[in-house]
């Protein structure tokens, strides 16, 4: 929308003007960005209204943290920066958690926040919602920019887009002071100042000698292993990755959000023999996965080391877009720096002349471990205790996901996370989105909204009752936009478990205990969605089938044995005080 100023002189043509809001909207649309996740308020309310009027999708949340998480995962799912729009100071701070999350997880996202007047903020004169937002955001973002003049909006948005998606993706902060949004300039000059970013995430071709080094190491392996991380899922090099794995015959382990890049039921998938292949492998090729805490830093007993700090005997190949990633935890013998599509294609080209399959004794012993563990798991899943435990409930989820392989599975919690990851198989790429690198809670409903909005696919969320609480009010958002989201709350009455009691005998509940027998399903009903209460696997199955069939917003309160679950799920060892118990 442009405004018209009075002609400067009688008889002169009226001048067409554009303001900051026009230019922000036009700059985003020029770059193919058609969705904003946010929460209106001073000074960006009009920006949300006018963005919608201009044909953008504006998804309005109840809390900025959820809008931010939505933007971050939209970035992962689309390779375009997800946009989160917030008000100044407190709204900005609420969005900051997600900005840091995007940076940590290598998701492209732009947090755009309105801010107060620079002159007053810098002299600390006490403006409305005064905060030096740029300074606060900078250490948590891959890049942070502020635009002071309407004529620079095009550059500001172009820089933010490039910073978010090029190289290792991350979170970018863009500060838009209130006065900027009201600033006007000649509309034609404004249009001319906008930039359509050319090739925002250029391919990065690996050096031939790096590819050769990696190939030689891989060829020398007697017990090779490939680890796929969420960088591999993000890169959308699905065909190349499948070709590499199937042509080499090398067993692979998917990290949590890489599950489904190849179906978890693939015969080369070694997930069910994880504790055998990590210490057993002699050459490990990491593709878009970091050797951080989720992989025990590449050392210790997990990897066959003798103590917590010793490395095993493995040699590592690491494919990563970041040249700084190699050697961050242990020596990387063959780093291959580039984008995953180009790197994997180069490896495949180098194998064209032939590449031997891994020795059969390695494959045979993995297959043996796998079938033993799969059998044990099948026994656990077949049991039908009353009340339900995580296994009997997740056995149902496992079947529903198998029957709906294009549904997106959102997952957060402690036990609800760990059990789901190992029990529920995924069949297609980028269908599992979860707590990510930090293992945080609170992503749940924001992820559900974004996944449904940007993919149009049905969404199934498996939520711990504690995890759900962090973003539960967004159930209203899900109902308001009538999204095909089925939430299953694994309700065991507390954090980890619901059995703790106050040792003093006082009135206050124990810190980890919630209201017993809570009916989370009624929260969904309050906003017009479908609620269901499931005390048995049969009830859970019926409710999930109906939710997927109807595509109605649904929340199923799945009653789980309150004594089921362990402290901190599978990461009890990170909780030193609990370890001593
Ligand atoms: P996971 O938690 O699944 O192990 P991480 O988040 O630790 O995965 O690792 C993802 C890695 O992928 C990061 O080091 C990041 O630099 C890398 N990465 C992201 N996108 C690409 C890409 N397009 N090409 C190559 N590497 C990428």
Span 471-512, pLDDT tens digits: 999 999 999 999 999 999 999 999 999 999 999 999 999 999
Which atom of ligand 1 has the smallest separation from the CA of 237?
Answer: 23
Which range (1-10, 62-71, 261-270, 498-507) has the least confidence? 1-10
Is the pLDDT score of 357 beyond 90? yes
Q: Is 168 in the pocket of ligand 1 (CB under 6 A)?
A: yes
Instruction: Confirm or reject: Cβ of 257 under 6 Å from ligand 1.
Output: yes
Q: What share of the chain is helix, strand, coil (3-state, %, to 5)?
A: 45, 20, 40
Letter string b/e over residues 63-79, b meaning 16 or more CB atoms within 10 A of that residue's CB: bbbbbbbbbbbbbbbbe
Q: For residue 255, which atom of ligand 1 is closest to its CA?
A: 3
328: Cβ below 6 Å to ligand 1?
Answer: no
Q: Rounded to the nearest whole angstrom, what is the distance from the C-alpha of residue 214 to the centroid of ligand 1?
A: 18
Calculate how far, in angstroms, residue 287's C-alpha sits from the geometric centre of ligand 1: 7
CB of 240 closer than 6 angstroms to any ligand 1 atom: no
Report the pLDDT value the prediction gives residue 3, as an integer from 0 to 100: 65
- Is the C-beta atom of 325 inside 6 A of ligand 1? yes
User: Ligand 1 centre and the CA of 256: distance in Å?
Assistant: 12
* 289 CA to centre of ligand 1 in angstroms: 5
- DSSP for residue 201: S
Closest approach atom of ligand 1 to CA 437:
2
pTM, 2 dp: 0.97
Hey, is 228 helix, strand or coil? strand
Confidence at residue 546, expressed as pLDDT on a 0 to 100 scale = 98
Give every CB contact of residue 400 below 8 A, 6+ residues apart in sequence: 407, 460, 541, 544, 545, 548
Cα–Cα distance measured from residue 261 to residue 242, given in angstroms and rounded to the nearest whole number: 8
State the distance between the two ends of the chain, measured CA to CA, in whole angstroms: 64
Three-class DSSP labels, 23-37: HHHHHHHHCCCCEEE
User: Which pLDDT value is given to residue 571?
Assistant: 76
CA 155 to chain centroid, in Å, comes to 28
Reading across the β-sheet that carries 224-228, which strands appear in turn? 252-254, 224-228, 283-287, 315-320, 334-337
Percent of the chain topping pLDDT 90: 92
Tell the residue nearest (CA) to atom 7 of ligand 1.
Answer: 290
Specify burial of residue 268 (Cβ count, 10 A radius: 0-12, 13-18, 19+).
middle
DSSP state of 311: B
Q: How confident is the model at residue 443 (pLDDT cuts 50, 70, 90)?
A: very high
Query: pLDDT for 133-184, tens place per residue?
Result: 999 999 999 999 999 999 999 999 999 999 999 999 999 999 999 999 999 9
The pLDDT of residue 581 is 47
Q: Would you say residue 323 has pLDDT above 50? A: yes
**pLDDT confidence of 308, banded at 50, 70, 90?**
confident
CB 105 near ligand 1, within 6 Å: yes
| Residues in CB range of 99: below 8 A, 6 or more apart | 68, 72, 84, 109, 111, 137, 140, 141, 171, 173
Q: For Cα atoms 19, 133, 153, give the angle at the middle one, nearest 5 degrees.
A: 25
Residue nearest to atom 21 of ligand 1 (CA): 231
Above 70 in pLDDT, residue 2?
A: no
Q: Is the pLDDT of residue 579 over 80?
A: no
DSSP H helices in 54-186:
64-78, 89-105, 118-122, 133-137, 153-165, 178-182
Q: Which of 288, 317, 346 to mutate to test the pocket of ligand 1 (most atoms within 8 A of CB)?
A: 288
Return phi, psi of residue 487, to 5°. -100, 130
Could you read off the pLDDT of 65-80 as tens digits, one per residue? 999 999 999 999 999 9
pLDDT at 8: 62
Host H or E run for residue 208: helix 208-220
Q: Binning pLDDT at 50, 70 and 90, where does residue 347 land?
A: very high
289 touches ligand 1 (CB under 6 Å): yes
| 221 CA from centroid of ligand 1 (Å) | 24
288 upstream amide cis, omega within 30 of 0: no
- Over residues 514-519, the mean pLDDT reads 96
Summarize the confidence of residues 368-385 as an average pLDDT: 94
- How many CB atoms within 10 Å of residue 24? 27
Q: Which residue has the higher pLDDT, 101 or 568?
A: 101
Facing residues of 111 across strands?
A: 84, 173
Dihedral sign for Cα 494, 496, 497, 499, please.
negative
Q: Are 52 and 77 in contact (CB under 8 A)?
A: no
DSSP 116: -
Q: Is 13 left (phi over 0), alpha (psi -120 to 50) or beta?
A: beta
Residue nearest to atom 20 of ligand 1 (CA): 231
pLDDT bin (cut points 50, 70, 90) of residue 309 is confident
**CA–CA gap between residue 289 and residue 228 (Å, rounded):** 6
* Count of H-run helices and E-run strands, the chain: 23, 20
Q: 417-443 as b/e, with b when 16 or more CB fall inside 10 Å?
A: bbbbbbbbbbbbbbbbbbbbbebbbbb
3-state SS track over 493-514 = CECCCCCCCCCCCCCCCCCCEC
d(C-alpha 260, C-alpha 432), whole Å = 8
Q: Write down the pLDDT at residue 5.
A: 65
Mean pLDDT of the chain: 96
**Above 80 in pLDDT, residue 393?**
yes
pLDDT above 90: residue 6 = no
Indicate whether residue 101 lines ligand 1 (CB < 6 A).
Answer: no
């Amino acid at each position: 929308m442009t405004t018209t100023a009075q002609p400067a002189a009688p008889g002169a043509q009226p001048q067409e003007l554009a303001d900051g809001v026009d230019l922000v909207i036009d700059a985003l649309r020029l770059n193919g960005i058609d969705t904003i996740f946010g929460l209106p308020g001073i000074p960006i309310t009009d920006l949300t209204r006018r963005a919608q009027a201009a044909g953008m999708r504006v998804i309005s949340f109840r809390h900025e943290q959820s809008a931010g998480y939505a933007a971050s995962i939209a970035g992962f799912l689309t390779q375009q920066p997800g946009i989160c729009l917030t008000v100044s100071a407190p709204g900005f701070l609420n969005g900051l958690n997600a900005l840091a999350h995007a940076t940590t997880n290598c998701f492209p996202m732009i947090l755009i926040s309105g801010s107060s007047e620079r002159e007053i903020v810098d002299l600390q004169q006490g403006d409305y919602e005064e905060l030096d937002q740029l300074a606060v955001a900078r250490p948590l973002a891959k890049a942070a920019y502020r635009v002071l003049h309407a004529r620079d909006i095009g550059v500001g948005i172009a820089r933010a887009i490039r910073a978010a998606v090029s190289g290792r993706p991350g979170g970018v902060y863009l500060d838009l002071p209130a006065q900027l949004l009201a600033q006007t300039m000649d509309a034609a000059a404004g249009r001319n100042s906008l930039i359509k970013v050319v090739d925002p995430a250029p391919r990065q071709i690996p050096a031939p000698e790096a590819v050769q080094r990696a190939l030689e190491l891989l060829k020398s392996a007697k017990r090779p292993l490939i680890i796929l991380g969420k960088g591999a899922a993000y890169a959308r090099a699905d065909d190349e990755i499948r070709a590499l794995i199937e042509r080499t015959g090398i067993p692979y382990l998917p990290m949590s959000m890489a599950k489904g890049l190849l179906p978890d039921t693939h015969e080369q998938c070694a997930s069910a023999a994880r504790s055998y292949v990590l210490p057993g492998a002699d050459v490990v090729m990491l593709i878009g996965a970091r050797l951080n805490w989720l992989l025990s830093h590449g050392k210790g007993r997990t990897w066959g080391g003798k103590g917590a700090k010793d490395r095993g005997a493995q040699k590592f190949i690491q494919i990563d877009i970041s040249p700084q990633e190699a050697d961050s935890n242990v020596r990387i013998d063959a780093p291959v720096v580039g984008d995953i599509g180009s790197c994997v294609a180069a490896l495949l080209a180098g194998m064209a002349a032939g590449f031997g399959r891994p020795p059969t004794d390695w494959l045979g012993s993995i297959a043996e471990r796998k079938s033993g563990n799969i059998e044990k798991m099948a026994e656990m899943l077949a049991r039908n205790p009353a009340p339900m435990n995580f296994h009997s409930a997740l056995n149902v989820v496992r079947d529903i996901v198998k029957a709906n392989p294009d549904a997106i599975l959102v997952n957060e919690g402690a036990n609800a996370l760990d059990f789901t990851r190992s029990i529920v198989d995924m069949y297609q790429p980028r269908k599992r989105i979860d707590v990510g690198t930090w293992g945080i809670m609170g992503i749940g409903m924001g992820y559900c909204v974004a996944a449904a909005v940007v993919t149009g696919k049905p969404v199934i969320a498996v939520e711990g009752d504690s995890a759900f609480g962090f973003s539960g009010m967004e159930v209203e958002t899900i109902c308001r936009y009538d999204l095909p989201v089925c939430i299953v709350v694994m309700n065991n009455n507390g954090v980890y478990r619901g059995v703790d009691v106050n040792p003093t005998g006082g009135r206050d509940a124990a810190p980890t205990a919630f209201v017993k027998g809570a009916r989370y399903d009624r929260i969904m009903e309050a906003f017009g969605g479908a609620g269901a209460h499931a005390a048995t696997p049969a009830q859970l199955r019926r409710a999930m089938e109906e939710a997927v069939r109807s595509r109605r917003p649904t929340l199923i309160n799945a009653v789980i044995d309150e004594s089921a679950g362990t402290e901190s799920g599978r990461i009890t060892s990170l909780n030193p005080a609990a370890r001593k118990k």
